[in-house]
Amino acid sequence: MSAAQNTRVIVIGGGYAGVLAANRLQGTPGVAVTLVNPRPEFVERIRLHQLAVGGDDATEPYDTLLGDGVRLLVDGADHIDADIRQVQLTSGEVLDYDYLVYAVGSTSGVPASVPGATEFAYPLSEFEQAQRLRARLQDVPMSAPIVVVGGGLTGIEAAGELAEAGRNVTLVTDVVGASLGAAGRRSVVKALTKLGVSIIDGPEILVTGVEPDAITLADGNRLPSAVTVWTTGFGVPGLAAASGLRTDELGRLLTDETLTSIDDARIVAAGDAASPSGIPLRMSCQAAGPMGVQAANTVLARIAGTAPKPLNQAFAGQCISVGRTYGTVQLCHSDDSPRRVFIGGRTAAFFKEQVCRATITFLRKEGVKPGSYFWFKGDNRARQLAEAQQGTLVR
């Protein structure tokens, strides 16, 4: 009898990491895979800024992405009881498991410390948030002032998409594209400026309040804003912590380098909600996908009674769209630090779109042919761990 005979694996979360993990696992005979996700369709988070302006629905049907061996259960997960290996669902149903893949993703991080932010700002990191923003935009005139708070990748893409749609956009941030190299930042600023985005940036720039029709800055200035889009900061669902599993300060599940929970060898994590060795990878689909496959490989190794391999993946770059016309592709070292080389303009916009399409293709292909997914590998994790032990790691 196979060691995998009648092994039940639950994957919580149907994002990039969860879908790849489920598709990889269902290729092994004797492994029964259930994917639990609160939405009936896959959400392309990398297209939520397009959804907000009505340019894309940012979804894909699960039946076109998941392998035939994956059972999709549309429900939420409320509690993990690791002692008896059960997951309590929002509907009241209880699922038993032999192994669990924790891939719940991330959420918005609108700070309660900024007065009015939670009431009046519009975050853009989840499907329902993008739908809410889209509905709000339909209620305000095209000429109304829109403020995007945060100059990270999400803020850049949101500002560019809104401006290209004809909106009056101001981007407010300390640094535009802080994760990019100097030349890459200049490329982004140039593209935003071409689209008519006004940029207010500087180390002293800090939003201290959000009102229904304005924002206030630390220097006392008040900017009109019919819609304030908030793109700074991310959080994670509190499922792990609420279930008594150890997490980092943000709530990501603490794991070892094989992505196995430090509390339970039957629980493996992947994606934005995983914190291997307390040194998480950058929240992105570029990190989530490979982690999903590696988490699945860890489960399969444990089922087979072999030693799972440690996390091994590297970054290649950051692809940013600035509307549908412009873009910037920042090439990176394997540790995600920027190189001096970048691609800008229309070529970068085309490249970014191909990457978005390829991401869906890779999910679908893994469902048809488990084991086909590949990713960049490197020695950056070993260096990060060594630096962390020496106390020299810069985060």
Residues 190, 248, single domain; the answer is no
Domain for residue 252, yes or no? Answer: yes
Q: Using CA atoms, how far apart are residues 334 and 342, in angstroms rounded to an integer?
A: 15
CATH label of the domain that carries residue 193: 3.50.50.60
For 102-117, write each residue's pLDDT tens digit.
999 999 878 889 999 9
Q: Using CA atoms, how far apart are residues 369 and 184, in angstroms rounded to an integer?
A: 37
Residues 98, 128, single domain; the answer is no
Identify the band that residue 395 occupies on the pLDDT scale cut at 50, 70 and 90.
very low
The domain total for the chain is 2
Q: Are 181 and 187 in contact (CB under 8 A)?
A: no
Q: What's the pLDDT at 284? A: 92
Residues 121, 265, single domain; the answer is no
Q: Using CA atoms, how far apart are residues 136 and 151, in angstroms rounded to an integer?
A: 22
How do the residues of the chain divide into helix, strand and coil, expressed in percent and rounded to 5? 30, 30, 40
Of 203, 230, 257, which residue sits at a domain end? Answer: 230
Full residue range of the structural domain in which residue 204 is found: 117-230
Share of the chain above pLDDT 90, in %: 91
Domain for residue 300, yes or no? Answer: yes
Helix (H, G, I), strand (E, B) or coil at 338: strand
Q: What's the pLDDT at 394? A: 47
| Residue with token string 């769209």 | 321
For 65-108, write each residue's pLDDT tens digit.
999 999 999 999 999 999 999 999 999 999 999 999 999 999 98
Average pLDDT estimate for 201-205 = 94
Q: Using CA atoms, how far apart are residues 168 and 165, in angstroms rounded to an integer?
A: 9
Domain for residue 395, yes or no? Answer: no
Domain for residue 196, yes or no? Answer: yes
Domain for residue 326, yes or no? Answer: no
Residues 87, 130, single domain; the answer is no
Residues 297, 152, single domain; the answer is no
Of 230, 254, 283, which residue sits at a domain end? Answer: 230
Of 269, 298, 314, which residue sits at a domain end? Answer: 314
Residues 83, 12, single domain; the answer is yes
Q: What's the pLDDT at 383? A: 78
Residues 224, 243, single domain; the answer is no
For 333-375, write each residue's pLDDT tens digit.
999 999 999 999 999 999 999 999 999 999 999 999 999 999 9
Local structure of residue 43 (DSSP, 8 states): E
Residues 83, 156, single domain; the answer is no
- Phi–psi pair at 169, nearest 5 degrees: -115, 135
For 213-269, write each residue's pLDDT tens digit.
999 999 999 999 999 999 998 899 999 999 999 999 999 999 999 999 999 999 999
